[in-house]
Structure 1
Amino acid sequence: MKERDYDLYLKVLEGDKQALEEIYDKYEKLLYSFAYKTCGQKEMSEEVMQEVFIKIWTQKATYDEAKGKFSSWIITVARYTAIDVLRKKENQNYALDEEWDATNEQEPSVEDLVEWKERGSMIRQAMKQLPKEQKKIVTLFYFKGWTQQRIAEGLDVSLGTVKSRIRLALKRLKKELATIEEKGGVSDA
């Protein structure tokens, strides 16, 4: 019987390398795929993966089972790590004017993001139903790691508009996913 993620995580905290390898084996494809969608480059995606597991091993990223699923937490670590890697790359080319605000309370739930990844084809179908403006903003925010301010500047719209479109897109995606699930999954159409 496979051990639960939390039990493996507790073993990692005690220095068990085998437990870290098991977590790696279980999540490497999901994290690499997520990192690649965010960064768009193989080398950067590999760097994100390495950083995520270093953070877990050195306990710079800590998981609390009471706050949610392990898969949600590890995707969150990967998301912020990918954004850091992208920013590091951008800083080599030019200085950024804005710092990432990880405490922004209007930011969409990471739980939603994990569910999207776990339901891959369902999300792709639901994304097709979004208006063009919402689809673009969701893609830039979640998969390209852009800040809301950067999206506003890049698309020449107000920050409030960006936040509103993200919020509306997430509501619509949730509704579309419920409809898709109700119908029994993704259709071939």
Structure 2
Amino acid sequence: MITVTREDFARLPVEPLVPHAGPEAGWIPVNSPTVLYVEPTDQILDTTLLGTPVQVRAIPVSYTWSMGDGGTITTTKRGKPYPSEEVAYYYETEGWYDITLTTTFAGQFSVNGGPWQDIDGTITIDSTPVPLYSNSLESRLVNPDSTEPPEPIVPDRTPDTEGHPNPRAGHETR
């Protein structure tokens, strides 16, 4: 009898999901919704145990967003692109923040094309952080004949432009 354990599952090359945060421009106004979403897909991994072909399916079941200012959100919702605010966060101060997604995957396995069986336990995979600048917008004079809207000033990332911890930030479960 062949079985796949949580430890076996954890050794497989499950790919991190690609997080989206923003808008895609790389900056967001302070106190505006930072929309978070991911496009989850099951992953099928082929392996061999005791000379028998086995497929393992990694299924995203929850998402933990670490917002870089001390705030975190754990949800089973994948979120949706703007204008949805199904999963959103608000920065209170200006600065650069790294948003990190940790995805929890449940697993199933199929031995030699047989029925799918659950793997006891889950694994977590961290995605590459998404840098985002939270900008305190200021009004400024612009050329009235210009057809292009002025872009906000987004500074280079330096120790002086890093975001600050939010003492009110906590963990939300949605």
Provide TM-score, normalisation by structure 1: 0.20
State which structure, 1 or 2, has the greater radius of gyration over its C-alpha atoms: 2
Higher strand share: 2
Higher helix share: 1
**Highest RCO, 1 vs 2 (Cα 8 Å, sep ≥ 6):** 2
